[in-house]
Amino acid sequence: MPTTGQAGEVPARSRRADALRNQQTLLAAAAAVFVTSGVDAPIREIAARAGVGMGTIYRHFPTRADLVVAVYRHQVEACAEAGPSLLGSADSPLAALRQWVDLFVDFLVTKHGLANALQSDSGGFDALHAYFLDRLVPVCAQLLDAAVNAGEIRPDTHAYELMRGVGNLCVGHDSDPRYDPRRLVELLLRGLQRPQSP
């Protein structure tokens, strides 16, 4: 339990840790809302999901673009950290790859609204895209290499190509709510698998 200073004040380190935890909770709530309702979802919906007031969101993120960028970075980091974790906990490297691609699809659904939210800042969008590639291509490559080494998928699948293919399959979701990219992404992943021996 944190000790208090003069007049019962909580030390600054404790306040920073609480603020960071609260911000992470808020970003996770915003990401979930963006996946179901898009980046134009009402701020009150995000606040309700996070269990905070709208003022708290505006205090951390003065504009919608600030919130969208923060959610984007939060999801990139979550996706990057999930790769090694899934490799350690899944039944097989292919199962880890499937679970990671599922997280990646959630991320991409949110990402498609990013360009609209950042209309006036194309340089900012380019920097975020470079950040996305720098963080996620190596993680995808690690998962692919593990599945190849386990004999579960064919060799010569490049991480960038797979991520690009998954991304292209997710594009139609924005304009047609009846379109489910996950079904086609699953077909893509099945196509990577080595044929089973008779």
What tens digit of pLDDT does each residue of 149-193 get? 999 999 999 999 999 999 889 887 667 878 888 899 999 999 999
pLDDT tens figures, 104-149: 988 887 665 665 665 555 566 778 888 989 999 999 999 999 999 9
Residue listed under structure tokens 């990219």: 181
- The CA-atom distances, in angstroms, between 7 and each of 4, 11, 12, 65 are 8, 11, 14, 39
Q: What is the pTM of this model?
A: 0.78
* Ordered structural domains, the chain, with CATH: 1-62 (1.10.10.60), 64-198 (1.10.357.10)
Q: What is the mean pLDDT of residues 38-65?
A: 90
- Output phi, psi for 178, to 5 deg: -80, -15
The residues that bridge with 153 in the sheet, in sequence order, are 193
Sequence-separated (6 or more) residues with CB below 8 Å from residue 198 = none
Sequence-separated (6 or more) residues with CB below 8 Å from residue 44 = 54
Sequence-separated (6 or more) residues with CB below 8 Å from residue 83 = 96, 100, 139, 140, 142, 143
Is pLDDT at 24 greater than 70 in this prediction? yes
Of residues 135, 156, 146, 133, the one with CA closest to residue 98 = 146
SS (H, E, C) the chain: CCCCCHHHCCCHHHHHHHHHHHHHHHHHHHHHHHHHHCCCCCHHHHHHHHCCCHHHHHHHCCCHHHHHHHHHHHHHHHHHHHHHHHHHHCCCHHHHHHHHHHHHHHHHHHHCCHHHHCCCCHHHHHHHHHHHHHHHHHHHHHHHHHHHHCCCECCCCCHHHHHHHHHHHHHHHCCCCCCCHHHHHHHHHHHHECCCCC
